Amino acid sequence: MIGKDIATASQLLADGKVVAIPTETVYGLAANALDIRAVSEIYSVKNRPHFNPLIVHVPSLDAAKKYVTHFPKAAEELARHFWPGSLSILLPKNEMIPDIITAGSPHVVLRVPNHPLTLQLLQSVSFPLAAPSANVSNTVSPTTANHVEHGLGDRIEYILDGGECAVGVESTIVCIQEGGVVILREGGVSQEAITHKTGLPILPHTPATIQSPGQLKRHYATHKPLYIVNSFDEFIRNNPQTTCSILYYEKPKDTLNVTSYFLSETYHLGEIANQLFSILRIADADSSDCILIQPIKPIGIGRAIQDRIQRAATV
């Protein structure tokens, strides 16, 4: 059921149920983060592998400090500038956070989401909320309540409807090392914004084991093949029997004689991010054989867009 009743969502969560909630990034599949059975239900509903940890959502910086052994000054600087917002921070967890949340890691990812309904919900319950994206694992993330209903409507009791997500891609995940910031997952807060707001340096990230969400190589996938190509014309010429849908970053002077979707009229990265998952869903449902998209400029939130496209693409 889709609704806007915070009290209903709050009671279901207190009863150990799983509820879909809105955030500014994407819709989340939420449960009491301190309840092992409730968290297990998240993994079951999503068909999510248990080695893939979850983000824990809290209503404030003070609330976040309850669940960690310490909160570095650099992390506090980030939180002051970007919470509530699309930034998640990897921190050393204390014993209150169950290992199932972190896939056995001693660190937990925390965030204060920037959505009025979910902030009210977090303030109405006495526990934090574990909440990965509200979709079956390895499918396109939902940015509306109807997307959640389409994917998980028969598996959960309630979807808190907060309208369309304002950002449209998941949060940026960072950790603090040697006083600098390491980007573990590109997302709604860009590297440039972090540096501009805090002055903290961005340090290189060398992927190792999965220590935070969003590290799987294959993720956000469409049902039909998605190809990243340098030239739409060349792909179509070389595959004459294949019908294609094209996702454009801006409206071209001349479109090809195929199904076309415009993520933006003017290559506006914020608009592209906001529209990406919704348009991918539409293209995935049309009659074409595959979806084509080009690499995007790796600046600002463009890095997050490219990350999602690469993880969704057919290799």
pLDDT digits (tens, 9 = 90+) for 272-303: 999 999 999 999 999 999 999 999 999 999 99
Compute the C-alpha angle 113/114/116, nearest 5°: 110
255, 158: one domain = no
Give residue 134's pLDDT band: very low, low, confident or very high (50, 70, 90).
very high
Average pLDDT, the chain: 93
> Residue 200: inside a domain, yes or no?
no
Q: What is the pLDDT of residue 202?
A: 93
Give the whole-angstrom CA distance, residue 11 versus residue 30: 13
Distances (CA, A) of 28 to 142, 151, 165, 286: 8, 13, 11, 26
* CA dist., res. 68 & res. 62, Å (int): 11
Predicted local confidence at residue 221, as pLDDT: 81
Mean pLDDT value of segment 119-147: 96
Please indicate, yes or no, if residue 113 is contained in any of the structural domains. yes
**Domain boundary residue, one of 136, 166, 196:** 166
Please report the pLDDT score of residue 51 as a whole number: 87
CA 30 to chain centre: 13
In a domain, 112, yes or no: yes
Supply 61's token pair: 């910086």
Q: Kindly state whether residues 23 and 160 are assigned to the same domain.
A: yes
The reply to whether 155 and 269 lie within a common domain is no
Structure confidence at residue 204 (pLDDT): 87
The pLDDT of residue 314: 78
Mean pLDDT of 87-108: 96
Residues 89-99 have a mean pLDDT of 97
What mean pLDDT is predicted for residues 71-90? 96
- The CATH number of the domain holding residue 248 is 3.40.50.11030
Q: Are 58 and 133 in contact (CB under 8 A)?
A: no
Percent of the chain surpassing pLDDT 90 = 87
Both 32 and 143 in one domain: the answer is yes
Residue 257 forms part of a structural domain: yes
Residue 231 neighbours by CB distance under 10 Å:
11
In a domain, 155, yes or no: yes
Residues 146 and 264 in one domain: no
Q: Which two tokens stand for residue 124?
A: 């109405």
Q: How many structural domains does the chain have?
A: 2
Mean pLDDT confidence for 33-57: 95
Q: 218-276, pLDDT tens digit by residue?
A: 667 889 999 999 999 999 999 999 999 999 999 887 777 789 999 999 999 999 999 99
C-alpha distances (whole Å) from 77 to each of 80, 83, 100, 315 are 5, 10, 28, 39
Asked if 20 and 152 sit in the same domain, the reply is yes
| Interatomic CA distance for residues 253 and 315, integer angstroms | 30
Domain that holds residue 286: 226-312
Residues 148 and 42 in one domain: yes
Please indicate, yes or no, if residue 189 is contained in any of the structural domains: no
- Kindly state whether residues 238 and 137 are assigned to the same domain: no
Assess whether 8 and 151 both reside in one domain.
Answer: yes
Cα 269 to Cα 306: distance, rounded to the nearest angstrom: 11
Residue with tokens 């969704």: 312
Q: Is 25 left (phi over 0), alpha (psi -120 to 50) or beta?
A: alpha
Instruction: Write down which residue in 166, 185, 211 finishes a domain.
Output: 166
Candidates 281, 270, 279, 280; CA nearest to 304 is 270
Residues 187 and 139: their CA atoms lie apart, in Å, by 17
Write down the pTM of the prediction: 0.92
User: What is residue 114's predicted lDDT score, i.e. its pLDDT?
Assistant: 97
Q: Which spans in the chain are helix H?
A: 6-14, 36-46, 61-64, 73-82, 99-102, 116-124, 145-152, 191-198, 232-238, 269-285, 302-312
Flag whether 266 is in a domain.
yes
Interval 48-65: pLDDT, tens? 888 889 999 999 999 999
Find the mean pLDDT for residues 206-211.
Answer: 60
Task: Assess whether 113 and 233 both reside in one domain.
Answer: no
pLDDT for residue 138 is more than 90? no
215: confidence class by pLDDT, cuts 50, 70, 90 = low
Q: Is residue 185 part of a domain?
A: no
Q: Let me know whether 106 and 251 are in one domain.
A: no
154 and 248, same domain (yes or no): no
pLDDT over 60 (residue 210): no
Q: What is the CATH number of the domain that holds 29?
A: 3.90.870.10
